[in-house]
Structure 1
Amino acid sequence: MRLLVINPNTTAAMTEKIGAAARRVASPGTEIVAVNPAHGPAAIEGYYDEAMSLAGLLGLIRGRDDFDAVIIACFDDTGLDAARCVTEKPVLGIGEAAFHMAAMLANRFSVVTTLGRSVPAIEHNLTRYGLMARCGRVRASEIPVLELEDPASDACARIGAELGRAIIDDRAEAIVLGCAGMTDLAQRLSETHGLPVLDGVVCAVAQAEALVRLGLTTSRLGGYAPPRR
């Protein structure tokens, strides 16, 4: 099985981190191919960056058939619907994957993301996926995405502090980390705070493997029909 894991921004260090996280949980025999576009935003922090990343993202999928499923490793599920139109292979967004898995583990979860400008897009997705009622709150730690790549940053401590507030104020029973750049923090934060902390990258890998093994593909009826020539 071959999973194409796409980081829609152009920051190669983040792509490497995402790929390493995916490989840690992939089953034996599953190959992880982690890639990012050559052109586009260095980080995706809001609606404008999402739009600017779409050409590069779709270009990595369109016209190739050397994968069994695609994972879009941006928590906003950037370009998810469009990507499902250009391939019949399963396409998963890490946000959707993490939300659904959190809802299986806890009555109530909160999301801890990067900047406040990302909150509306995440809330929109939760509503669309039918899971807003299960979410206590989408919280911003006010950490720029690229700061997560700086070893000298205190990002983990700041995210942990926001997570602690979510447990008390939101009555959260699980936490979803709202950025692919946080993938290396999940286990440490879970052990520190004593509750499930979900990273969307590993959630999406597990779900993608299951869909491929079941032989399921994206529906070509209705909204996910292939683009017209």
Structure 2
Amino acid sequence: MKIVYINPNATRAMTDGIVATARAALPGAEITGMTNADGPAAIEGAADGDAAVPGMLTRLEAAQAAGADAVVIACFDDTGLAEAQARAACPVLGIGQASFVMAALLGMRFSVVTSLPVSIPVIEENISRQGFAQNCASIRASGLPVLTIDAGAPETLDRIAATIDATAGEDGAACAVLGCAGMAPLKPALEARTRVPLIDGVAASALLARAAVEAKRGVGMRAP
């Protein structure tokens, strides 16, 4: 099974961390990454997301030409997800979408911990449009830029962990969703700093992509 992760932003180091996380979650799959060199260095808010869509769709075409069984859009904003799904012959998932689905499958009311406040409206709209509003306790911004999160300094980890703790203590969340692709490699360090269960969309998307591919194959094998 070949799964391609497309990072809509232009930061290659983030793509490497995403791919490593996905491979650890699904070691039996062939997982590769593509970086949208035509996009902004970091996607922070709707304007950045809109700017990243054309380049992301170009990488989608390349992923399909390379024989991808599934494609994952590796931005928590699910940048261009609807457009990609409309164009692709294979399953296309977003890591935000995968996080919400996984929380619902686990029966857990979740809060999202993201980067900057500018990201909240996009995430809020996605949660509502995808039908998960009743499962969401809150969306909290850590106040940290995406590239600062990706660097993963100790003070960054402490600040994210404090925001995670607030979702349980103040918002009544049963788990926290890591609302930035750059947080995926930080999950083990964050787990050491908080007792709140964490859901990482990169790992969740790898598992759900496998399920989607297998389901698609099963449907395709049925007699009409």
**Equivalent pair of 2:98/2:205 in contact (CA under 8 Å):** yes
Contact kept? 1:21, 1:201, Cα under 8 Å: yes
Q: Say which SS state the counterpart of residue 161 (structure 2) adopts.
A: helix
Deviation at 1:200, TM superposition (A): 0.4
For structure 2, the residue ranges without an aligned partner over 5 or more in a row are: 219-224
Q: Distance in 2 between matches of 1:115 and 1:100?
A: 23
Q: Which residue of 2 aligns with 1:98?
A: 99
CA distance in 2, matches of 1:139, 1:151: 19
Residues in 2 aligned to 1:112 and 1:135: alpha-carbon distance in whole angstroms: 11
Q: Which residue of 1 aligns with 2:39?
A: 40
User: SS state of the match for residue 33, structure 1?
Assistant: strand
Mapped partners of 2:153, 2:96: distance in 1? 27
Q: Contact 2:164/2:196 (CA < 8 Å) preserved in 1?
A: no
Aligned to 2:21: 21
What value does the CA root-mean-square deviation take over the aligned residues? 1.7
Moved over 4 A (4+): none
TM-score normalised to structure 1 length? 0.90
Unaligned runs of 5+ in 1: 218-229
Which structure 2 residues correspond to residues 1-229 of structure 1 after superposition, within 5 A?
Answer: 1-28=1-28, 30-62=29-61, 64-152=65-153, 154-215=155-216
The amino acid of 1:86's aligned partner reads R
In the comparison of the two structures, how many residue pairs are matched?
217
Q: Is the 8 A contact 1:175 1:198 kept in 2?
A: yes
CA contact (8 A) 2:3 2:69 kept: yes
Deviation at 1:191, TM superposition (A): 4.5
Counterpart residue identity of residue 99, structure 2? A
Deviations 1:113-132 (A, max 9, x none): 00000001101111111111
Distance (whole Å) between structure 1 residues aligned to residue 170 and residue 152 of structure 2: 30
C-alpha deviations, 1:50-71, integer Å up to 9, x for none?
0110111000112625110000
Greater helix share, 1 or 2? Answer: 2
Give the whole-Å Cα distance in 2 for the aligned partners of 1:184 and 1:65.
26
Distance in 1, Cα, partners of 2:151 & 2:66: 35
The AA in structure 2 aligned to 1:23 is R
Q: 2:95–2:204: 8 Å Cα contact kept in structure 1? A: yes
